[in-house]
Structure 1
Amino acid sequence: MTKHWKIALPLAALVLVPGYAAVEAAAESDSYQDLKTLVDVLERVRATYVDQVDEKTLIRGAINGMLSSLDPHSSYLDGRDFANLKQTTDGEYSGLGLTVTAEDGVVKVVTPTDDTPAALAGIKAGDYITHLDDELIYGTSLNDAVDKMRGPSGTKIKVTVVRQGEPKPLEFTLTRAVVVIKPVKWEVRGQVGMIRITTFNSKTGDATRAAVEGIRAKLGENVAGYVIDLRSNPGGLLDEAIKVSDVFLESGEVVSERRRAKNDVDHYYAKAGDLTQGKPVVVLVDEGTASAAEIVAGALQDHRRAIVLGQRSFGKGSVQTVYPLSAETALRLTTARYFTPSGRSVQENGIDPDIVVPQLSDPRVAERKPLREADLKKHLINEVKDSTNLLVEQDSAPDPRFVAKADELKAKGVLDYQMDYALRLVGRLVPPTVAPVQVAGAAPRPASR
């Protein structure tokens, strides 16, 4: 039975349904009337609007309005948008290195990419961009704002942001650069391999595999375990999330994709063989961990292959499919929800860490309200709420065990408390039959938040 099984029904089955023909005819009549109304409005605007408007502009506006009424992630990609998507997927463009979203007419930073002009200058997740080169961009379309931020490498741009907790706007003068998104970086701390995954582009799966192989080549049999840093990772390609999960799983389901029809479900599985040979794994997540990154965290958590540590993740549990409409345009449409191997929907809820650890190294983190999927207008509703996390809009109150540590950590020079905690946790996970693990302190993390 194919995915198009409905068209295989015998014609008699349609005829015998009471009132079917009348209902179909009424529905077609309503749709025709609505389309006629749309054409009438289009013609009236074209003919009598105070300024002359190009028909293509009107039609594009109608398409954008239709898609924006669905959810925050469905959209029409014109030539510019489609090119930007390809650049991001391929992993190279010229600009500042920011992932942004539109919120009530304001451009809000979702996350800066590591080692890019924006991250190195100190722009953080949650910042509101108000001016570009002293020009107010409130009410500007997100595409226009992104266009202004991108530009030839070496050119400068002044970016003004409003940050919660700061008494006045902050100004940054940034030099645009060719942003080559290296999706994976790794290093060794003592006997622990640290793997930082910043995005899921077309190179992420292979780069993660290479990172594990590089760590094993450097440490040999002395690898105590791995820390996978998915903080502030906005996600990306589903296939790459499956490849990354496969690196750490011996076997089993990684994720399932469920579309509109109840029986229209695809399951994706790991191939046999855990490249890390069962060594302990800790996964770091925060409120910026989204989409494909949540797939990896959820898969490793459900298979009890990793301990997830940090803060509750973003909560984007939907899949977008890109349908090319021409050589230069495409439709990005939400076509499915994804579920973790145990059947959890990440939508709205996000991934709850096994160990909640705040980022004590950032003194103002508590002052910034995190942006999550549940905060976006018209987001998909999670129809099956996690009974252990009904208050998904709220974050837990600060754990008093951690509050007292902030000054102590500052005195010790710990600049990334979550990473420091993860590294030490790996050391405690090593079986007692193994020699004690040497764990060096966490290295300073780039200003990527």
Structure 2
Amino acid sequence: MRFLLSVTMAAVLMISAPAFSQDNEEGDTYEQLKLFGEVFERVRADFVEEVSDRELVEAAIEGMLSELDPHSGYLDSESFKDMREQTRGEFGGLGIEVTMEDGLVKVVSPIDDTPAFRAGIQSGDMITHIDGEQVMGMNLNEAVKMMRGPVDTTIEVTIRRGNQEPFDVEITRDIIQVQSVRSRVEEDIGYIRLTSFTEQTTGGLQEAFADIREEVGEDELKGIVLDMRNNPGGLLEQAISVSDAFLDRGEIVSTRGRDEDDAQRWNADSGDMAEGLPIVVLINGGSASASEIVAGALQDHRRAIVMGTPSFGKGSVQTVIPLSGNGAMRLTTARYYTPSGRSIQAKGIEPDIVVEQARLESMDNGLIRREEDLPRHLENDFDRRDGQDGEAEEPEAGSESGDTEEPTEEELVSPEDQGDPEQDYQLARALDLLRGLALFSQLEVN
């Protein structure tokens, strides 16, 4: 069995033998099973169209599981195959992680550099129609199957976003190859983006950090930005190992199911990959499940400053159980807790510093008058730092038109600009904070 901590495009779950108690409940259970058998036979015999036994059983299972919570369900053989491909980091589709809410498909997050991402789909979008067909009345599995299809074919989804009027988006299906780790250097700070938690994530993180350290220089690196915005989660073991990479000791996460004896705890091994360098973790409403485990662990151990907006709040563990017939069930079996004992189910991780996303725009400061612009200002004829005479430079002419146009409303950064410090306000604030911490450390030393 594998623990899976993501809100995915697959629908879910199971045939399981009923557990019979040894008291009066046993009779009630048999009565309910008798009722189920009676309904099954009546539908089989009298429904207006012929339905196979397999269809009826799978529909009953799906109904049973989907009523438990948004993340439990039945996986037929095709959906189970898709799920396994997704956790390996390559699958076909649109590139969105979804769940069901109020009878509609809710986008948890688009995956970076996928058709949905490039089409402008955003975290929190509600899909109301797929190719003109209403989503209301479908289960998640049915909606997902409609969104999947051959590569290079198009699909039209109707999006409801906040208070805006619903609008249509056409997306071309493609093979989704998830690069779960990306990195680069921002001057003296390393930027590492985790888009999901697949089997390659921890190895990719280690390689990324090594590349950053080599490029910047071990003594010059001021800190790390760990960007997990719109990261919908993935494999539990990867969330644990990513957390362990930055923690030297202590608990990472615990899970508790219905049976207290089934509680599990995972602790960090000795060794901090970043050797104490300051870390800022970026999260938002699209950060779910496994990414919340990492953010919560680093936050509780005061190993990182968490910045951004509250996370999605998926604090449950799904166990994928293969079944006969090549299908599987995904069942919510436990809640997970951060090291301090917080359950973030339906609450999310609250950032240490709340920073709403906004677009950065350069402002024309031509109308701002400085000392050098004033008539008869004193010239700077001596630089006391080096003892050399200096010549005052002719000031540049300022703008005289006074027609600088200010934005009429705050524009959120587009998906394509996320991760660009010139456009991404949250990232710019994270970089500023790390540089400020580095400067403060130098002042303390001096």
Q: Assess same fold via TM > 0.5.
A: yes
| Uncovered stretches (5+) of structure 1, i.e. residues with no partner | 1-22, 364-403, 437-449
Which residue in 2 is equivalent to 1:329? 327
Larger radius of gyration: 2
Question: How far apart are the structure 2 equivalents of 1:264 and 1:120?
Answer: 43
Counterpart position of 2:305: 307
- 1:229-248 mapped onto 2 (5 Å cutoff): 229-248=227-246
**Equivalent runs, 1:141-290 vs 2, <5 Å:** 141-166=139-164, 168-221=165-218, 222-290=220-288
Whole-angstrom distance in 1 between the partners of 2:256 and 2:226? 27
1:46 aligns with 44
CA contact (8 A) 2:154 2:173 kept: yes
- Of 12, 18, 27 in structure 1, the residue corresponding to residue 25 of structure 2 is 27
Q: Which has the larger displacement, 314-323 or 145-154?
A: 145-154
1:240-260, Cα deviation, whole Å (9 max, x unpaired): 000110111112211111121
Partner amino acid, structure 2, of 1:229: D
Give the counterpart of 1:344 among 338, 342, 345. Answer: 342
- 1:24 match: secondary structure: coil
Structure 1 consecutive aligned stretches of length 4 or more whose deviation exceeds 6 Å = none
Please tell me the root mean square deviation across aligned C-alpha atoms, in Å.
2.6
Matched, 1:58 2:66: no
Verify the 8 A CA contact 1:96 1:176 in the aligned structure 2: yes
Give the deviation of 1:121 after TM superposition.
1.8
Distance in 1 between residues matched to 2:108 and 2:89, nearest whole Å: 18
Correspondent of 1:418 among 403, 410, 426: 426
| C-alpha distance in structure 2 between counterparts of 1:60 and 1:97, whole Å | 26
Question: In the alignment, does 2:299 pair up with 1:291?
Answer: no
Aligned twin of 2:120? 122
Q: Deviations over 1:180-206 (max 9, x none)?
A: 001111111011111111111111111
Separation in structure 2 between the aligned mates of residue 354 and residue 83 of structure 1, nearest angstrom: 39
2:437 — aligned with what? 429
Partner secondary structure for residue 430 of structure 1? helix
Conserved 8 A contact 2:70-2:100: no
| Per-residue Cα deviation, 1:123-146 (whole angstroms, up to 9, x for no partner) | 112223234444444433332332
Q: Matches of 2:333 and 2:133 in 1, distance apart?
A: 38
Q: TM-score, normalised by structure 1?
A: 0.77
- Whether the 8 Å contact between 1:294 and 1:350 is mirrored in structure 2 is yes
- Maintained 8 Å contact 1:209/1:244: no
* C-alpha distance in 1 between matches for 2:132 and 2:313: 34
Count the aligned residue pairs.
371
More helix per residue: 1
Taking the aligned partners of 2:334 and 2:29, their CA distance within structure 1 comes to 25
In structure 2, runs of 5+ residues without a counterpart are: 1-20, 362-407, 415-420
Structure 2 distance, partners of 1:42, 1:327, is: 21
Query: TM-score w.r.t. structure 2 length?
Result: 0.78
Please give the alpha-carbon distance, in whole angstroms, between the structure 2 residues aligned to 1:433 and 1:332: 48
After TM superposition, give the deviation of residue 420 of structure 1 in Å.
0.7
Sequence identity percentage:
50
- Paired with 2:189 and 2:409, the residues of 1 have a C-alpha distance of 24
The alpha carbon displacement at 1:51 in A equals: 2.3
**C-alpha spacing 1:252/1:141, structure 2 compared with 1 (3 Å):** same
